[in-house]
């Protein structure tokens, strides 16, 4: 094996050109080493294996990582933080990579971040389970360092700071901690738009400040990356009303869970997902298509493998809490063929049912660690840029969703509610489901090896407000447009819009942003499962899009709002018991009004 | 809870026996589905007021912390001693204070808000609806 690696490396050096690297990188390499479960880890190398479920995926739909691993580029020197339910740091497949820095918030001490659930341990294994050690599988970055925090069981502002990159000694001048990648496989789904207002929510301002500083200034100016799961609410989500937990689901055409093919949740609803510092990740299955549960939206940066449920089709094969009496893999659990004491894992230290955007995020976090390790001198933003430049157009034939509805005049009309793959004016592909594409580690590593300069300094333009006060016609595919011209000229990395819009049933609305180059991005898709009823609509609500990546910000921007429903389709609230309520089933009595909107750009000169 | 007398909306069936009470979902929540054979007639309308939830569906709890934003320097030592508070963390203009012995934090916040260098002082909360994805 060592001979092969040397041969490959030598041939690359001798060839000495980007094209010859590309040629080698395009070849297929085995995942060298002795890890008994690695053959079932389809996210690393998808051969159509079943991952101990009843069916397999489609070969090739993976992270494209075999070349990097064959070259020995596996995350060495990069520390990844698992901010989660905890991390079983003495798990035999994790302990070799665990370094100092973990905190057990439950008992208030440095060291062992006890994981009473198993989610964080599964996440940690996806990132950096050790390779070639004759047990289990391996992580995306098996040479990376790991630390963990059981923040999800001890959430407060103090613990947020300590787990998100700030050191404990608050009097110290240098507050930044070691991780260059922070994985956040958590979130929530608000049932109505949130206000993005620092005065009302100083905690939000503190968090944004920390994330900006760590992202740009830590590690001697090279920065770090926060990776965030988009959410698991494509079909339904949970909400709490007066202390009672409900499932919220659509009901169209007399069918539950029918939302005319449209996502029920948009990742832009969750305000931490509209933060530029969070790299928001959607989930794909083993066929390369959007996972059945994955939240999607214009703020999604990339898509990454996560799988389905591990019973009928593949989920993730990763670390589990040790032993057959805890975690997901326990005796008697036969949901997945690995569970219950498989000969490849007789001690039940691994599982085959991990999924969710909780898996897509750590697979991306590991990918970033690998690319960073290929060229540690690059800034975190540059690594992100290289991943954009190399992202793969997964599910390439996905044509989006056309929504048919009866307009105000009684005619049936069709509205392109979710566009298929588009190409923006800078040549980047994007899709509401997949952001700028599927993560392609080998492509990004190849570019990182031959990139000597980081992106220019990040520019954040001032908010530019447009007073609109225009009515939104009910049930009209024409909609209403309001325009703003900006003289700021930056090469866009992301665009944020802050919106004030009155409407009594905002789930009817689709909100689009159209760039000076004509690129159309759906910021909020129609029929999103908001519960507003007689509410005020959007009030200082933040929406973000990555779809204009690489375009110029200068010129005329158009915000378009389309009302897609005059009927009585409904949203359902179910209390997981015997109570089912119908809401949102009356059309708005008054026309909606776009009051004002503001726009700002993140990018570089 | 006062809006829950939606008696007319109750539907008794054993088809919905499954409960999802854990606060952390290890996997995507696709397993637990409503019984799809129910017709629309089984579903009743909710009281509109029930939905006017200021927390957007989040389960909010106080954390026992006060988040203070300052403009300039403040000597917290004497203030904290008087109120039995400690600084648990700080970053930039933000300070997080915590009581050592069950001090009335609302009273402390009122006093903090009177201090000229304090831009804001709020009772910190945690969103317990945040879950693993």
Which residue has better confidence, B38 or B71? B71
Contacts of the segment A259-263: beta carbons below 8 A, 24+ positions apart: A259/A235, A259/A527, A259/A529, A260/A401, A260/A403, A260/A404, A260/A527, A261/A401, A261/A403, A262/A401, A262/A403, A262/A417, A262/A418, A262/A525, A262/A526, A262/A527, A263/A234, A263/A295, A263/A296, A263/A297, A263/A418, A263/A432, A263/A525, A263/A528
Tell the burial category of B35 from Cβ atoms under 10 Å away from its Cβ (0-12, 13-18, 19+).
middle
Give the pLDDT score at A536. 73
Q: Which residues of A touch B25 (CB under 8 A)?
A: 232, 356
Task: Please report which residue ranges of A133-199 form alpha helices under DSSP H.
Answer: 157-163
Evaluated on CA atoms B54, B57, B58, B59, the torsion sign reads positive
Q: Is the pLDDT reported for residue B12 higher than 50?
A: no
Higher pLDDT, B29 or A568: A568
Strand A103-104 to A109-110 pairing: antiparallel
Whole-number Å distance between alpha carbons of B63 and B70: 20
Q: Answer whether residue A566 shows pLDDT above 50.
A: yes
CB A421 within 8 A of CB A398: yes
Mean pLDDT, rounded, of chain B: 73
Please tell me if residue A158 touches chain B, with a CB cutoff of 8 Å: yes
A71-85, A323-337, A503-517 — which is least confidently predicted?
A323-337
In this prediction, residue B19 has a pLDDT band, given cuts at 50, 70 and 90, of: very low
Check residues A387 and A575 and name the one with the higher pLDDT: A387
Question: Tell me, what's the pLDDT at A7?
Answer: 42
Which stretch of A30-34, A173-177, B117-121 has the lowest confidence by average pLDDT?
A30-34
Mean pLDDT for the stretch of residues A234-247? 90
**For residue A17, pLDDT beyond 70:** no
Any idea of the CA torsion for A258, A263, A265, A267, to the nearest 10 degrees?
Answer: 170
CB proximity list for A423: less than 8 A, separation 6 or greater: A429, A430
The verdict on B73 touching A (C-beta cutoff 8 Å) is no
The pLDDT value recorded for residue A80 is: 98
Q: What is the separation, in whole angstroms, between the first and last Cα of chain A?
A: 45
Nearest CB to B34 within list A170, A187, A256? A256
Helix axes A119-128, A357-374, angle to 10 degrees: 30
Arithmetic mean of pLDDT, A498-525? 96
Q: Which residues of A are catalytic?
A: 84, 119, 358
pLDDT, position B37: 63
The answer to whether the CB atoms of A84 and B132 lie below 8 A apart is yes
Least Cα distance to A224 among A242, A233, A206, A211 occurs for A211
Q: Compute the distance between CA of residue A408 and CA of residue A21 in angstroms, rounded to an integer.
A: 58
Q: A117 with A85: CB under 8 angstroms? A: yes
Q: A578 at the B interface (CB within 8 A)? A: yes
Tell me, what's the pLDDT at A482?
Answer: 98
In whole angstroms, give the CA distance from residue A541 to residue A34. 50
Taking CB atoms and an 8 Å limit, are A580 and B9 in contact across chains?
Answer: yes
Quote the percentage of chain A above a pLDDT of 70.
Answer: 95
| Beta-ladder partners of A573 | A248, A581
Least confident of A197-201, A294-298, A457-461, B41-45: B41-45
Determine the average pLDDT of the residues in A188-193.
Answer: 92
Backbone torsions φ then ψ of A47, nearest 5 degrees: -110, 10
Mean pLDDT of B109-124: 94
pLDDT at A4: 44
pLDDT grade for A104, boundaries at 50, 70 and 90: very high
- A68-88 tens-digit pLDDT: 999 999 999 999 999 999 999
Higher pLDDT, A490 or B22: A490
Contact: B126, A117; criterion CB under 8 Å: no
A575-604 tens-digit pLDDT: 888 888 888 888 999 999 999 999 999 999
Q: Tokens standing for A227?
A: 């990776």
SS3 for A11? helix
pLDDT of B17 above 60: no
The pLDDT-based confidence of A23 (bands split at 50, 70, 90) is low
pLDDT digits (tens, 9 = 90+) for A124-180: 999 999 999 999 999 999 999 999 999 999 999 999 999 999 999 999 989 999 999
Determine what percent of chain A falls in helix, strand and coil, rounding each to the nearest 5.
20, 30, 50
Greatest C-alpha distance within chain B: 66
Q: 3-state class of A131 per DSSP?
A: coil
Q: Say whether B133 and A356 touch across the interface (CB within 8 A).
A: yes
Query: Taking the mean position of all CA atoms in its chain, how far away is CA B67?
Result: 15
Complex ipTM > 0.85: yes
Of A203, A254, A292, the CB nearest to B67: A203
d(CA A228, CA A277): 9
Collect all residues of chain A within an 8 Å Cβ-Cβ radius of residue B52: 533-535
Q: Looking up tokens 């579903």, which residue turns up?
A: B43
Find where tokens 């569970």 sit: A339
To the question of pTM greater than 0.80 for the whole model, the response is yes
Q: Which member of A158, A186, A243 has the closest CB to residue B88?
A: A158
Query: Which of the two residues, A318 and B21, has the higher pLDDT score?
Result: A318
Question: Which chain B residue's Cα is nearest to A206?
Answer: B94
What is the tens place of the pLDDT at every residue in B52-79? 666 888 889 999 999 999 998 888 888 8
pLDDT tier at B30, thresholds 50, 70, 90: very low
What is the Cα Rg of chain A in Å?
24
Band of the pLDDT at B36, cuts 50, 70, 90? low
CA-to-CA distance for A528 and B9, rounded, in angstroms?
24
Q: How confident is the model at residue B10 (pLDDT cuts 50, 70, 90)?
A: very low
Question: Which among A155, A354, A585 is the nearest to B27, CB-wise?
Answer: A354
Pairing of strands A580-583, A570-574: antiparallel
Question: What percent of chain B is predicted at pLDDT more than 70?
Answer: 66
pLDDT (mean) for A264-275: 94
Say whether A358 and B12 touch across the interface (CB within 8 A). Answer: no
Q: Residue A225's pLDDT is what?
A: 98
pLDDT of residue A356: 97
- Asked whether A490 and A536 are in contact (CB, 8 A), the reply is no
Number of H helices, E strands in chain A: 9, 29
Test A156 with B65 for CB contact under 8 angstroms. Answer: yes
DSSP secondary structure string for all residues of A396-436: TT--EEEEEEE-TTS-EEEEEEEE-SEE-TTS-EEBTTTBT
How far are the Cα atoms of A471, A476, A497, A508 from residue A192, in angstroms, in the given order?
21, 23, 17, 13
When the pLDDT of each residue in chain A is averaged and rounded to a whole number, the result is 94
- pLDDT at A555 > cutoff 80: yes
Interface check for B18 against chain A (CB to CB < 8 A): the answer is yes
Q: What percent of chain A has pLDDT over 90?
A: 85
Please answer whether residues A379 and A223 qualify as being in contact, where contact means their C-beta atoms are separated by less than 8 angstroms.
yes
Q: How confident is the model at residue A22 (pLDDT cuts 50, 70, 90)?
A: low
pLDDT for residue A553: 98
How confident is the model at residue A570, as a pLDDT? 81
* Nearest chain A Cα distance for residue B55, angstroms: 8
Q: What is the pLDDT of residue B18?
A: 28
**CA–centroid distance for A215 within its chain:** 17
Strand-pair category, B94-99 with B118-127: unpaired
CB contact (8 A) between residue B91 and residue A122: no
Residue B126: Cβ-neighbour burial (10 angstroms; 0-12, 13-18, 19+): buried
Please give the pLDDT value at position A27: 79
Q: What is the pLDDT of residue A20?
A: 64
pLDDT exceeds cutoff 60 at A312: yes
For A404-430, what is each residue's pLDDT tens digit? 999 999 999 999 999 999 999 999 999
Of A37-41, A346-350, A483-487, B99-103, least confident by mean pLDDT is B99-103
* Chain A touched by B54 (CB under 8 Å): no
pLDDT at A563 over 70: yes
């Amino acid at each position: 094996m060592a001979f092969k690696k040397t041969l490959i490396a030598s041939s690359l050096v001798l060839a000495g050109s980007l094209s010859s690297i590309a040629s080698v990188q395009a070849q297929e390499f085995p995942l060298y080493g002795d890890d008994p479960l690695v053959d079932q880890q389809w996210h690393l190398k998808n051969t159509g294996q079943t991952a101990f479920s009843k069916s397999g995926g489609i070969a090739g739909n993976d992270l494209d990582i075999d070349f990097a691993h064959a070259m020995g580029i596996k995350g060495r020197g990069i520390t990844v933080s698992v901010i989660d339910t905890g991390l079983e740091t003495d798990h035999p497949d994790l302990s070799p990579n665990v370094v100092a820095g973990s905190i057990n918030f439950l008992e208030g001490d440095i060291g062992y971040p006890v994981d009473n659930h198993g989610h964080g341990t599964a996440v940690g294994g996806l990132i950096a389970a050790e390779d070639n050690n004759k047990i289990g599988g391996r992580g995306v970055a098996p040479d990376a360092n790991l630390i963990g925090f059981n923040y999800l069981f001890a959430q407060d502002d103090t613990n947020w700071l300590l787990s998100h990159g700030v050191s404990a000694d608050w009097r110290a001048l240098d507050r930044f901690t070691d991780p260059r990648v922070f994985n956040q496989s958590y979130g929530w789904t608000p049932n109505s738009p949130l206000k993005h207002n620092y005065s009302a929510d100083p905690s939000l301002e503190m968090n944004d400040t920390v994330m900006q500083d760590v992202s740009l200034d830590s590690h001697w100016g090279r920065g770090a990356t926060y990776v965030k799961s988009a959410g698991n609410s494509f079909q339904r989500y949970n909400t709490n009303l007066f202390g009672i937990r409900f499932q919220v689901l659509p009901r169209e055409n007399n069918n539950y869970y029918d939302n005319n093919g449209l996502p029920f949740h948009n990742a832009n609803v969750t305000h931490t997902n509209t933060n530029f510092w969070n790299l928001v990740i959607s989930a794909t299955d083993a066929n390369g298509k959007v996972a059945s549960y994955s939240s999607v939206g214009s703020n999604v940066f990339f898509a990454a493998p996560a799988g389905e449920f591990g019973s009928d089709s593949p989920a993730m094969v990763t670390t589990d809490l040790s032993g057959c009496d805890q975690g997901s893999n326990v005796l008697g659990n036969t949901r997945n063929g690995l569970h219950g004491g498989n000969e490849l894992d007789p001690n039940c230290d691994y599982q085959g049912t991990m999924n969710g955007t909780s898996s897509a995020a750590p697979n991306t976090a590991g990918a970033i660690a690998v690319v960073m390790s290929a060229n540690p001198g690059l800034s975190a933003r540059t690594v992100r840029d290289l991943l954009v430049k190399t992202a793969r157009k997964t599910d390439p034939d996905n044509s989006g969703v056309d929504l048919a509805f009866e307009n105000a005049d009684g005619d049936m009309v069709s509205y392109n509610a979710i566009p298929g793959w588009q190409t923006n004016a800078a040549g980047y592909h994007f899709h509401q489901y997949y952001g700028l594409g599927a993560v392609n580690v080998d492509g990004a590593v190849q570019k990182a090896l031959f990139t000597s300069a980081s992106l220019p300094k990040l520019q954040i333009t001032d908010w530019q407000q447009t007073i609109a006060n225009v009515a939104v016609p009910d049930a009209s595919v024409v909609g209403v447009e309001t325009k703003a011209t900006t003289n700021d000229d930056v090469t866009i990395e992301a665009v944020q819009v802050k919106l004030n819009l009155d409407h009594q049933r905002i789930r009817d609305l689709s909100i689009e942003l159209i760039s000076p180059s004509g690129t159309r991005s759906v910021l909020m898709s129609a029929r999103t499962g908001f519960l507003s009823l007689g509410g005020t609509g959007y009030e200082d609500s933040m929406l973000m899009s990555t779809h204009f990546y690489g375009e110029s910000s200068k010129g005329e921007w158009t915000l378009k709002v389309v009302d897609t429903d005059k009927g009585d389709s409904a949203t359902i609230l179910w209390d997981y018991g015997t109570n089912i309520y119908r809401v949102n089933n009356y059309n708005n009595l008054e026309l909606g009004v776009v009051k004002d909107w503001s726009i700002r750009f993140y990018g570089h000169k | 809870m006062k809006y829950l007398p939606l008696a007319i909306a109750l539907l008794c069936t054993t088809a919905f026996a499954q409960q999802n009470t854990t606060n952390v979902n290890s996997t995507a929540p696709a397993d637990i589905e409503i019984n799809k054979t129910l017709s629309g007639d089984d579903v009743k309308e909710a009281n509109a007021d029930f939905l006017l939830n200021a927390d957007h569906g989040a389960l909010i709890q106080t954390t026992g912390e006060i988040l203070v934003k300052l403009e300039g320097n403040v000597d917290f030592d004497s203030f904290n001693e008087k109120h039995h508070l400690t600084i648990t963390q700080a970053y930039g203009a933000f300070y997080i204070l915590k009581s050592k012995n069950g001090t009335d934090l609302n009273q402390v916040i009122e006093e903090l808000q009177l201090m000229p260098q304090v831009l804001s002082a709020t009772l910190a909360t945690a969103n317990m609806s945040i879950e693993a994805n």
